[in-house]
Amino acid sequence: MANTTTEAAGAVTEVAGHAAEAGGHAAQSAGMPQLNWETFPNQIFWLVVALVLIYLILSKVALPRIGGILADRQGAITNDIAAAEELKAKAVEAEKAYNQALIDAREEANKIVAEARAEIQKDLDKATAKADAEIAAKTAESAKRIEEIRAGAAKNVEEVARDAAAAIVDTMGVKADAKTVAGAVTARLKG
C-alpha cells in the first residue's frame, strides 16, 4: 500500500506540475492569440491556403463571369450605337426625302396656281371682250337711238319753229304761205 500511496502522490505531483506548466502557458497566452509567436507558422500556412483558394475561385469562377457580362454589355452597347447611327442615317435620309417632296409639292402648287391664273385670265379676257362687244353694240344702238331722237327732235323743233313762225307771221297780220315760212325756218336752222 505504501507503493500505491507513493504512486498516487507522484501522479498528483505530476498532474500539479502539468497544471503549473499549463498555468504558465495560460499566463503567457493571455493576450491576443494572433500575436502569439508560437502559432505564426500555422497562421501563415492557413493565410496562404485561404489566399490561394480565393485566387482560384476568383480567377476560375467570378472573373470569367464578370468578364463575360462586361463583354456582353460592351457588345450590346456597340450594337445599340450601330443601330442608333443607322437610324440617324435613315432619319437624315427621310428628312432629305421630305424636304425634296415639300419642294416638289410647292413647285406643283405654283404650277397649278399659274395654270389656274392663266385659265382665269383667259376666261376674264373672253368675258371682257364679250362685255366690250356688248357695250360697243349697246353704245352703237344707243348712239343710233340718240341720232334718231336728235333727228326726231330736230324735225319736231323744225315743225314747232314753222308753226311758231306761221303763228307769229299771222299775228303780225301778214299772210305768208306755208312753203315760204318753211324755207325761212330751214334756212335759219342750218345756219
Residue that wins the pLDDT comparison between 63 and 5: 63
Given a cut of 50, whether residue 77 has pLDDT beyond it is: yes
Contacts of 34 (CB under 8 A, 6+ apart): 43
Q: For residue 33, what is the DSSP state?
A: G
Q: How far is CA 154 from CA 83, 141, 184, in A?
A: 101, 19, 15
The whole-angstrom distance between residue 66's C-alpha and the CA centroid of its chain comes to 44
Rounded distance between C-alpha atoms, residue 124 and residue 137, angstroms: 19
pLDDT for res 89: 95
For 7-48, write each residue's pLDDT tens digit: 655 555 565 555 445 444 444 546 787 788 888 899 899 999
Q: Is the whole model's pTM more than 0.85, yes or no?
A: no
Q: Is the torsion defined by CA of 105, 111, 114, 116 positive or negative?
A: negative
- Give the number of other Cβ atoms within 10 Å of residue 157's Cβ: 14
- Which of 41-50, 116-125, 177-186 shows the lowest mean pLDDT across its residues? 177-186
Greater confidence (6 vs 145) lies with: 145
Q: Are 185 and 158 in contact (CB under 8 A)?
A: yes
Separation CA 119–CA 93 (nearest Å): 38
